[in-house]
Amino acid sequence: MNKDFIQGFKWTNQSEAIIKEGSVLIKAHPNSDFFNDPAGGGLSNSNAAFFHAEANGDFVLKARVSHSFIGVYDACALMVMRDETCWAKLCFEKTDFGTHAVVSVVTNGVSDDANGVNVDGNAVYLQMARKGNVIALHYSLDGNGYEMVRYFSLPLVGSFKVGFVAQSPLGGGGGFLFEDIVFENRSVADLRKGV
């Protein structure tokens, strides 16, 4: 990734970004998230900083993500969004169980919430790949071999947004780092393997 590529990104929920070669540090707002709670109760939100490009067709987005894991649900996330009722994100999150976990949320009207593997440390590689209307989410500890987190259909028609979310649903915000960024308009050969 180069600076020219990320200079074309735009904001949903304006924040601050420090852009360097191959990386972007995004400031999360306090009490910010993307989540349409299936239980209701006023917990739905769509106010997290989302730094994104317009895309269409198949793609692969990957990055090494890290943060300080201060507040519960603080997370770096990769996200694809048609609109506020249709989107998916892959997070590296401080869970309410006290772990650092790869967490996925798929929203088609309402959101689900699926905790995945726990990871030691404050950094992990995340990958999101689309082929047709199917999306696969992956993680890696070293940026080489990726493991599948989730495989699902999402009705993305025409153009959509894809990029990075910095969220702090119960916390005071802070800096969330995305490094070694790769964004490609291409189809993977094996969506489940992510290659």
> Using one digit for the tens of pLDDT, what is the confidence trace for 14-40?
999 999 988 999 999 999 999 999 998
CB-CB contact of 48 with 70 (8 Å): no
User: How confident is the model at residue 4, as a pLDDT?
Assistant: 61
CA–CA separation, 169 and 43 (whole Å): 10
User: How confident is the model at residue 22, as a pLDDT?
Assistant: 83
Strands 59-66 and 123-131: antiparallel
- What DSSP element (H or E) covers 155? none
Q: Does residue 103 register a pLDDT over 90?
A: yes
Share of the chain above pLDDT 90, in %: 90
pLDDT in tens, 139-182: 999 999 999 999 999 999 899 999 999 999 999 999 999 999 99
Q: Does residue 74 register a pLDDT over 70?
A: yes
Q: Measured on CA atoms in the order 144, 176, 181, 53, is the torsion positive or negative?
A: positive
Residue extents of the structural domains in the chain: 3-184
What fold does the segment set 3-184 form as a domain? Jelly Rolls (2.60.120)
User: How confident is the model at residue 43, as a pLDDT?
Assistant: 66
Residues in the chain: 195
pTM of the model: 0.95
129 against 20, higher pLDDT: 129
Share of the chain above pLDDT 70, in %: 96
User: How confident is the model at residue 132, as a pLDDT?
Assistant: 93
Average pLDDT (54-72) is 97
CB-CB contact of 94 with 72 (8 Å): yes
CA–CA separation, 59 and 186 (whole Å): 5
Q: Does residue 1 register a pLDDT over 80?
A: no
Give the CA distances from residue 164 to residues 38, 40, 149, 189, in Å, rounded to whole numbers and listed in that order: 23, 25, 18, 24
Is 90 strand, coil or helix?
A: strand
Q: What is the mean pLDDT of the chain?
A: 94
Is 170 strand, coil or helix?
A: coil
Average pLDDT (68-89) is 97
Cβ neighbourhood burial of 167 (10 Å; 0-12, 13-18, 19+): buried
Number of H helices, E strands in the chain: 1, 17
Q: How confident is the model at residue 7 (pLDDT cuts 50, 70, 90)?
A: confident
Say how many C-beta atoms besides its own lie within 10 A of residue 5's C-beta. Answer: 11
